[in-house]
Each structure stands twice: as structure tokens, then as C-alpha cells.
Structure 1
Amino acid sequence: MTRPTNLNWIVIGLLLALFIGALDVTIVSTAMPNITEELRGGHLFSWVFTIYTLTTCVATPIFGKLTDLFGRKLVFGIGVFLFIASSVLCGLANSMTALIWFRALQGIGAGALNPVCFTIVGDLFTGEKRGKMMGVFASVWSIAGLLGPLVGGYFVDQVDWRWIFFINVPIGLVSLVLVLAFLKESFDKQKKRIDYLGAATFTVAVSALMYALLSGGNEYAWDSPVIVLLLAVSAAFFLLFLWVEKRAREPMIPLKLFRSRVMYISNLSNFLAFTISSGVTIYAPIWIQSVLGHSATSSGLMVMPMTIAWPLASNVVGRLMYKIGVKASVVTGAFIVAAGAAWLTALQIGSPYAYWVCILSLIGFGMGFIATPTTVIVQSSVGWELRGVATSTISLVRSFGQTVGVAVFGTIYNHYAVGENPPPSAMASGMHGIFVLMIAIALAHVFSVLFLPSNRRADAEQPS
């Protein structure tokens, strides 16, 4: 059980750790032109992002389980240390191949930051205070999303692109010192059994699936032998993983978690909702720049309404869900997202810029009403010994939703927008196809969250 000695310092340390992980997602893209120019590996640039996403997804549930086995403090320290060390290596990379390998290591460290930070928050706070703190921590992603391009641009223009990685070192060290110094925990010191076979089969299954989703339609056609083989390998190893988990004495992801309606409906909700958010984030700037003819700066700033509305809603619902209930909060968010998706389908080529501001504000606000309450209710539905894996599972599902969204929406878009410079009408047609699918997903999401238990309070705690 985690026992704090100084909450403020612990919270600051956790916020800093979450910040460097979130910042790294946005800051690297700003520097990529300079990186590829210096390291001369332009044909490999997509792997800088792909490998990071892949290793993060694989590592997330593994670290989540390790927090339940060996405590939050140890796993947090390992994750932050890996992230800092790999950031230094990324900054020192002298080839694109080296950078890709170091980014893979950095992704492993990042796999610990998000779930372990949120798990510790779940340990430190209960009831309404937990909801409020989840809203505060959710804001970190939006702040990082706004600062990432600015910080990245400053380092590239005024210093050196390598500092987009070196900046993680002082922030990460402060985070590490604060959490390790002030977080005190005690738990059962019995001999732990690590589910090596479960971790191995899960790693193969997720790696094959993620690579297929990230490269399908780009490097390889969806019906190519490579993609078909990857999907077959993924399916086979997922089945093997389920078989292993049913028989493991200490399973990496206990399947009993998903007997709970709270758990599987919350995960389904996050998968569907984050699928929509990923599509909007990608295709809103494309519409603004390529269809409406606005500047790259205007299109880049297009996601700001969403990044502002999301944490605002997270903080609001963190307080409100204890008055109206978790189910009402999530259902409200689902309807708001659906309203934004419905508005997307009504867009025409001549629709004004202001429509996009309203749509993204709606979807961002709805996402805040979904993400925070589902995290809180999932943590509240399990005891201390399962909180880490439960939190990491919902993080993994969100990443899956985003990746599947990118793959499916990209396939639809490429069907209409053929060639290097497709006309605006073709691009608009492709995005309309995406928007129609989004409203279908949004309606399925509304339907799914109606099955959340209505009598479960967000502050219902299991014995720790």
C-alpha cells in the first residue's frame, strides 16, 4: 500500500514524469526535417515514430503488472531511468539507424510513465479528490501538445535538434528524486512469480499487430503476403496468450478483470472514443490547409480548441461525476462526441473555418468527460494488487484505438485521394468517407456506454 509523506512533492514529481513522456510525442515531429538532413536517413524517418509507438504499447501492460508485483516506486524508478538514459542516447545518435534503436528503448521507458503515474495517483487519492487529480494529470497532455511544437522549434532554430532529447534529462532527474525521496510504500514481500511466457506471447502478438497496422497501406498493401502473415501471427499468438493466461499462477493480465462489466465496457468505450479523436487530430489540419487553402500555421493550430477543451472538461467532470454519477458523465461525453462527429458529416468544401473550431471544441470536451471518469471507475473497481494492470490495460486500449483509427481512416482516405497532389474535391470526398465512419463509431460508442452499471459510484473503493 502506498503511503505518502509529502503529497505535494510527489504530485510535482509525477507531473514532471508524465510531462516529459507527453512532450516527447509532439516535440520530435518538429525537428524531423533537421534530423533527417543531418543523419541522412530520410527514407527511415517514419520508423522514428513507429518503433516508439510499438515498444510503448508492448511495455505498457508489462510495467503495469510489475507495479502490482514489486511496487510502484521501483517500477517508476526503472521507467524514468530508462527514459532518461535513452534520451541521452537519442541525442548522441550519429545515424538514423542508431536513433531508431534508441527510440525503441525510449518507448520502453515511456511505457512505464503513463500507467505507473496514474496508478500512483489512484493509490494516493480516493473519492472526489481522485477525480480532481485525474483531471489535473490529464491536462499535462494538452500542455505538452501546445508546448511541444514551440519548444521543438526553439531548439531547432536557436540551439541544436539534439536538445529536444537532452531536455528530458534535468526534468526527469528532478522527477526521479522527488518521487523516490518522498513516496513511501509497504506491501507484501512474498516471492513473486513473473509470467514470462505470457509476456513473451503478448509481445509477439502486439508487435505483429502494431507493425501491420502502422505499415499497412503505406509500406505494404493491405492484402500483401507480409501484412496477411503479420495479422495471422498476431491472431495465433493472441490465442496462445489467452491460453497461457488462463493457466498462469500469476498472469500478466488476469482475465478475471474482464468479467467485470465496468472493466470491459470502460475499455470498449476508450477504444472507440480514442479511435475518433485520432482521426480528427490528423484530418482536421489536412482539411483546413488543403481544402480551405489556409496556411500550414493555421492548420497546425487547428487542434488547439480540442487540446484546450479536453483538460477543461476533465477538470469539470472530476468534480461533477460525484454528483451526477460516473455513468451519466460518460454517457454525456459520448453524446457530445457523437454531436461533433455528426457535424463533421455535414461539412462542405465551403464550410467556414469557425465550424472546425466548434467541432473540435465539442469533441475535445466530450473526450474529457469520457477519459477521466472511466479511468477513475476502473481504478475504483479493483484492489491495490490489480490497480497497476487495470490502469495499464486502459492505456493500452487507448493506444490500440488510436492506431486502428489511423490505419482504417488512412485506407479510406487513400482510396479517394489518389496520387501525389490530389485535387481538393478528392481529398474532401476521402475525408467525408472518414467522417461517415466516425459517426457510426460514435453511435456504437453511445450504445456501449449505456451498459455501464448505473449503481456504481466512482468513489466505491475495494480493500487496498
Structure 2
Amino acid sequence: MGDLTQKKKVSIMVAIMVAMFFSAINQTIVGTAMPRIIAILGGMDHYTWVITIYMLTSTIATVLVGKLSDIYGRKPFILAGIVFFMIGAFLSGFSKDIFQMITYRGIQGLGAGIIMSSAFTAVGDIFTPRERGKWMGVMMAVFSFSSVLGPPLGGWLVDNLDWKWLFWIFLPLGIVAFVMILMLFPKVERKESEKIDYLGSLFLSLMIIATLLGFSWAGTKYDWGSVEILGLFSAAIVFLGIFILVERKAKSPVLPLSLFRNDIVTISNSIGFIMNAGMMGALIYLPFFVQGVEGISPTYSGYVTMPMSIAMLAVSAITGSLITKTGKYKRFAIIGMPIMIAGMVIMAYMNSVWMAVVAMIVFGIGLGTGMPVFSITVQNAVSPAQLGVATASSQLFRNMGGTIGIAVMGTIMQSSLVKNMKSLTASAGADLTKIDPKTAEQLAAFNSPQLLLDHPKLEQMKQTLPPDIQPVVTQLVDTLREALSSSLTTVFLAGAAVTLVAFILTLFLREIPLRTSNKMPQEEAKPSNSSEVSSVKS
């Protein structure tokens, strides 16, 4: 797409950003309200699966579409991604239980993976590595804006309307995005010499599924040392081995092993994996503190997370411009990641809404400074022919890290919560021995932390009990909040520790100049026509 005018490039980027905003806003609008939705549908034990299935399907879609879009072009896949996402969102609103919600969120994840993989790669098609810094910053700003608008809007909707509208309200925007991509995005001819690597795609998908299921079920549905979990991890290793053998012989591998001989690609992907494991694993539990511990309604819970998005929006745009201006990127990762870690440490010890706001601002500044870097490093280190698959590999490792982080942090959260509940109940629990059996049975329902996330139900249960029992109810609820708060401290500290490992790895990232064209240096040095060849000879 190097022959496009600047006006056409900007028009295409507007279409891409509308598609990305459609995907992102549907995530952020649901995030704050999801604890309430899960409380309504039931199935607190399966809370992480609503997020895990989304990450699982988006991960598989991302890596498969990366190579396919190198062959067929980005346009058909962005269109297909929008369609899948709209179907998943529409069906999610009809969920009758947690298992239907998980299924439909899986369809949404499939669409999101296709959209994101194609969109980020398309930026590489249109702009040179030096120019991409600015546009990556703009794309981060799109995510930030959706994060500003989504949480408070989602909270207001779930407090004032049926939760189904969370999934339906932005469906018309999906139609707009589809039409814009259809009309503006140029069609690319298929590369006839390229063949689809069906066998490699199969074993890569099986490896991803076995790995993520193993981490998702370990410590929750099954013990870490159970036959089921060990079997899944063993299967993942076997599938990985077969995948490597297949890729060595494939003419057009779905994920070329040669990519990982490039130290910049390998280190960048490793950082993305570890960073997302710590970040995503911890951040999904922030609404638990705001709504569960502090007792803030979903409407106002969104306002607590808004400062992070505003800070990220402003800083990511500035960072992207500075990367384009200076041609340097490593310094921004080295500055940003310690700030992210500091934000997570503040989250671990926050004891008020105002501390949560401070933590969000600090974390947002770090996120906006460091996050735009690692997509640029990977794209700058590979040839244009590998742009799609390289970008997909970057998102694969990020998604894998995020999914595994969510699963591991979920295990930490559950085990810590059980331990804290036992400890607090034993030391400061309410004495129910002197209360009549019927009332004691009603009070037993107040031992579920899930109750803290559904304020209307909690108030309704309180009102069914006589006034003389209210002090006992207050004591039980306080015990729940203390146990939840202590468990969240453990989760946030674990996330900060994991992110620290990613920061250390960043110090070893090799920085090379950002190219000012879409050709590799060796390609630019080659004569482009016969006259140049003859002049070189003479």
C-alpha cells in the first residue's frame, strides 16, 4: 500500500480505528458491570472463564489470521471479524446462565482476535516503521478513549437498564465500521505461491487450547497435580513437539520458526507474555475492590477506573509522537514499566477510593509510556513479507500471557479468599449459636463473597432480617470485605512481581534504528532496475 496518497492513508486509518473502537468499547462497557452480571446469572466459580474463553478464542484467531492475511490481505479478515463480534455480542444479551454467556463470549473473542490482528498489521502495511510510532500511539488512544467512556456507561446501564443492553447498545457502530472498511480499504491480490499450512494450524491450535485449559482449570476445577491437569500439560508439550516438526518442513508455515532466531522478536514477545500475565491477571480484579470492598455501585465504579484511561490516552499519544520524532523506543519501555509496577503496588495497599484513583493514574501513565513500544519493535525487526505473521506472534504471546495470568491469579485469589475467610471467621466471626436455627440459616448466606458484588440483593437480604439481627449482619459483611481486601492485596502484589520480571527482561532488548521505508536495509541497498545494475557495474 506504499503508493497510497496521504489522504487515502488517513481515511483507511479512520476506518480501522472505528472498527477497533467498536471492539474495544464492547469490552470496556462490560468490564465494570461483569461482576454484577455474573452475580445475576450465578456461577461465581466460573467468573474467570468468561474472560478466559474470550482470550482463548481471540488468541487462536489472532495467530491463524496473521499468516492468512499475509496471503489474502487484511480486508476480508477485518470484515469477518466485525461480523463474528456482532453475532457474539447479540447472542450474549440472550444468555440465560453462565454457560451460555461463556459460549457467546467465545464467539466475540473470535471476532476480536481477527479485528485486532488485521488492524495492527494493516498499520504496518500503510506506514513505515518510523511513522508507526505516532499511529500506534493514536491506536492506543482509541483504546484509552473507550476505557474512559465504557466503564461509567456500563455501570450506569447495569444500574438503570437491563444488563442485556450492555451488549446491544453499540451494535449499530459495528455496521458503520463494516461499511467503512468495505468502502475504503483497498483489496489485495492473493499471493498464489503461498499455501495454507493446515497441519501446522491444527497442532498450534491444539497446543494453545491444551495449555490454556490446563492453566484455567488448575487450582479451581482440578488440583494442580491431578491427572486431568497433568494430562493437559503433557498433551500441550506433545502438540508443541509435533508443531515444531511440521513447521520445519512446511513450505509456508503458519508461524515460521525463523522468527524466533531474531533476538528482538523473541525478547519482545517474551516481555509481552510476562507483562500481560502480571497486568491482566491483576487488573480484572480491580472492580472487586471498588464494588466489593468499598461498596461502590457499578455506575460510580466506572469513574474510579476513568483516570487510568485518561492518563493512558494522553501519555500514549505523546509517546507515539516522540518515538516517531526521535526514532528511539527502548527508553520509553524502561521508563514506563517501573511506573506500571509502582501503580500495582499502590493497588495492593489501597484502602480507600482515593487511593484507588491515585493507583489508576500512576498505572495509566506507565501503561501509556511502555505499551506502544513492543508492537513497533517486532514489526521493525522483520521484512514486510512477514509483517502479518510477526504481528500475530506478538499478539499471540500477549494473549497467552494474559490468559495464563488471569487463570493463575484466579487460583491465587480463590485460595487466598478461602484461607482468609477461615481465619477471620475463626477469630472474629459472628456467634450464631444463640440465634434461632431459621435465622441462622438465613445468615449463612452472608458467608459468600459473591454477595458483595450484587448490592441490590445484599440490601434486599438485609431487609428480610429483624432489627436486632442487623449488627450481626454488619459484622458478617465486614468480615467478607476484610477477607476480600486481603486476598486482593495478594493478587496485586503477585501481578507487580511478575511485571518486574518483564521489566528486567526489557533491559536486554536490543534497539535498532526505526526504518524510514517499508523495505529492509538489505532490500534498499539492492538495485531496483537494469539501468541501476549497469551503473553499478560501470
Residue 275 in structure 1 maps to residue 332 in structure 2? no
Query: 303-312 or 132-141: which moved more?
Result: 303-312
State which of 322, 331, 337 in structure 1 corresponds to 2:340: 337
1:359 aligns with 2:359: yes
How is 1:247-266 mapped onto 2 (pairs within 5 angstroms)? 247-266=249-268
- Match among 302, 305, 316 for residue 307 of structure 2: 305
Partners of 1:88 and 1:452 in 2: how far apart? 43
Q: Is the 8 A contact 2:144 2:312 kept in 1?
A: yes
Query: How has the CA–CA distance of structure 1 residues 454 and 44 changed in structure 2, closer, same or farther, with 3 Å as cutoff?
Result: closer
Q: Which moved more, 1:280-289 or 1:355-364?
A: 280-289
2:72 and 2:188 in contact (8 A); partners too = no
1:216-254 per-position Cα deviation (integer Å, ceiling 9, x unaligned):
333333333322222222222122222221221111111
1:139 is matched with: 141
Match of 1:124 in 2: 126
The amino acid across from 2:19 in the alignment is: A
Instruction: Decide whether aligned partners of structure 1 residues 330 and 459 sit closer, same or farther in structure 2, where only a CA change above 3 A counts.
Output: farther
3-state secondary structure, aligned to 2:252: coil
Output aligned runs, 1:36-55, within 5 Å. 48-55=50-57
For residues 37-436 of structure 1, the aligned pairs below 5 Å read: 48-91=50-93, 100-152=102-154, 161-187=163-189, 189-288=191-290, 293=294, 295-297=296-298, 299-321=301-323, 322-323=325-326, 325-341=328-344, 343=346, 347=349, 353-418=353-418, 419=421, 420-421=448-449, 426-436=483-493
- Alpha-carbon shift at residue 196 of structure 1 (Å): 0.7
Say whether the 8 Å CA contact 1:138–1:314 is kept in structure 2: yes
Cα distance per residue 1:115-164 (max 9 Å; x no partner): 11111112112254321111111122222233334444566677655444
For residues 126 and 492 of structure 2, what CA distance do their matches in structure 1 show? 41
CA contact (8 A) 2:197 2:253 kept: yes
Aligned to 2:504: 447
Moved more, 431-440 or 73-82: 431-440
Alpha-carbon offset, residue 332 of structure 1: 1.4
Cα offset for 1:14?
Answer: 1.0
Residue 90 of structure 1, CA deviation: 4.3
Distance of 1:294 and 1:90 partners within structure 2? 27
Q: Which has the larger radius of gyration?
A: 2
Q: How many residues align?
A: 459
TM-score, normalised relative to structure 2? 0.75
**Residues 105-114 or 182-191, more deviating:** 182-191
Deviates more, 1:28-37 or 1:296-305: 28-37
Distance 2:155 2:270 in 1: 37
* Matched residue SS, 2:509: coil
Give the Cα separation in 2 of the matches to 1:174 and 1:226: 45
Amino acid paired to 1:60: T
Give the partner amino acid of 1:370.
G
Q: Assess if the C-alpha contact under 8 Å between 1:334 and 1:446 holds in 2.
A: yes
CA distance in 2, matches of 1:304, 1:33: 19
Q: Measure, in 1, the Cα distance between the counterparts of 2:242 and 2:361.
A: 42
CA distance 1:168–1:432, change in 2 (3 Å): closer
Q: Give the Cα–Cα distance (whole angstroms) in 2 for the partners of residues 26 and 231 of structure 1.
A: 32
- The offset of 1:205, in angstroms, is 1.2
1:456 to 507, 510, 513: 513
Relative to structure 1, is the Cα distance of residues 448 and 190 closer, same or farther in structure 2, using a 3 angstrom cutoff? same
Q: What 5-or-longer segments of structure 1 have no aligned partner?
A: none
Q: How much does 1:388 deviate?
A: 1.2
Partner Cα distance (2:75, 2:374) in 1: 24
Q: Partners of 1:329 and 1:317 in 2: how far apart?
A: 7
**Do the aligned partners of 1:380 and 1:459 also contact (CA within 8 Å) in 2?**
no
Q: In the alignment, which residue of structure 1 is the partner of 2:532?
A: none
Q: Using the alignment, how far apart are the partners of 1:189 and 1:232 within structure 2?
A: 37
1:326 and 1:373 in contact (8 A); partners too: yes
- Residues of 1 paired with 2:169 and 2:291: CA distance? 31
Q: CA deviation at 1:191?
A: 3.8
Q: Which residue of 1 aligns with 2:15?
A: 13
Q: Partner letter of residue 326 of structure 2?
A: K
Decide whether the 8 Å contact of 1:128 with 1:318 is kept in 2.
no
Change (3 A) 1:188 1:269: same
Code of the aligned partner of 1:451: F
Structure 1 residues 338 and 153, CA gap change in structure 2 (3 angstroms): closer
2: CA distance between counterparts of 1:408 and 1:149?
Answer: 25
Shift in alpha-carbon separation, 1:214–1:144, aligned structure 2, 3 A: farther
- Equivalent pair of 2:412/2:491 in contact (CA under 8 Å): yes
**Structure 1 residue 199 displacement after superposition:** 0.9
C-alpha contact (below 8 Å) 2:277/2:403 kept by paired residues: yes
For 1:166 and 1:434, locate their aligned partners in 2 and report how far apart those are by CA, in whole Å.
Answer: 32
Gaps of 5+ in 2: 422-447, 450-478, 524-538
Q: 1:43 to 1:370 in 2, by over 3 A?
A: closer
Contact 1:377 1:458 in 2 (8 A): no
The alpha-carbon distance between structure 1 residues 189 and 400, as it changes in their structure 2 partners (threshold 3 A), is: closer
1:302 Cα deviation from its structure 2 partner? 3.2
Please provide the CA RMSD for this pair: 3.3
Whole-Å separation in 1 of the counterparts to 2:347 and 2:95: 43
* AA of the residue aligned to 1:366: G
- In 1, are the aligned partners of 2:117 and 2:391 still within 8 Å (CA)? yes
Deviations 1:15-45 (A, max 9, x none): 12111211222334537856986x8989877
Equivalent residue letter for 2:177:
S
Aligned residue identity for 2:412: I
Cα distance in 1 between the residues matched to 2:174 and 2:386: 27
Secondary structure at 1:184's aligned position in 2?
Answer: coil
Question: 2: CA distance between counterparts of 1:434 and 1:45?
Answer: 16
Structure 2 residue matching 1:223: 3-state secondary structure: coil
Q: Partners in 1 of 2:336 and 2:516 — Cα distance? A: 19
